[in-house]
Amino acid sequence: MRIFGVILAGGGGRRMGGVDKAALMLAGETLLARAIARLEPQVERLAISANGDPARFDLGLPVLADTAPLGPLAGILSALSWAAPQGATAVVTVAVDTPFFPGDLVPQLCLAAETSPTGLAIAASAKDHPTCSLWPVTLAPALQAFLASGANPRVMDFAQAHDCARARFADETAFRNINTPAELDAAEALLRGIA
């Protein structure tokens, strides 16, 4: 398998006051830098899924814009469209606001994907974490059709309709999202506790 990685960084950050969450600082690093450091060693190539001016990410990585403002699934479709012509088998996505995702996320997703008839696997702990998932490039046409159908574009709706497997992780804090200033403060406190 050839696995590419894409960091989903296209959210509006409404609960953060409209701040670009990729640029938020956590323990002296941006959330984007933390995501790159965790995902890059696990994948063959890496890109960022984000809208707006790509120049704000001066990191030497491709920046993939959504073709339509339809949330994370639009970013995933852009990721698949980028990866497939380069020979990728699948794309692993992570959300930029999930800075503690596991260092073995990709191999665990790959193992889980072997049990799915479509090869789609999502991360799960006490609950599902569908933005941290493995997406076979062969699902691109089905995803494009799903987004064009006018359906409410929820990641789990698409994933469940395509027989997703679940990679189980015991540590719920690994998938902690940072959506509010209070959650950013809690993440800082968690890191201080680890240090």
| pLDDT at residue 8 in the model | 95
| pTM for the structure as a whole | 0.92
Least confident of 42-46, 128-132, 142-146, 148-152: 148-152
Query: What does pLDDT average to over the chain?
Result: 90
Which residues, at least 6 apart from 49, have a Cβ–Cβ distance to it below 8 Å? 6, 7, 8, 9, 10, 63, 64, 66, 75, 76, 78, 79, 93
Query: Percent of the chain beyond pLDDT 70?
Result: 94
**Per-residue pLDDT tens over the stretch 14-57:** 555 567 888 889 988 999 999 999 999 999 999 999 988 777 88
| pLDDT at residue 195 in the model | 46
CATH 3.90.550.10 fits 3-194, yes or no: yes
Q: Say if strands 90-95 and 128-136 run parallel, antiparallel, or are unpaired.
A: antiparallel
| pLDDT at residue 12 in the model | 58
Average pLDDT over every residue of 119-134 = 96
**Helices then strands (H, E): number in the chain?**
6, 9
Span between the terminal Cα atoms of the chain, in Å: 36
71, pLDDT greater than 70: yes
194, pLDDT greater than 70: no
| pLDDT at residue 58 in the model | 79
Exposed, middle or buried, 172 (CB in 10 Å: 0-12/13-18/19+)?
Answer: exposed
- pLDDT category, 186, cuts 50, 70, 90? confident
Euclidean distance between CA atoms 65 and 74, whole angstroms: 9
The closest alpha carbon to 128, from 161, 92, 175, belongs to 175
Q: So where are the chain's domains?
A: 3-194
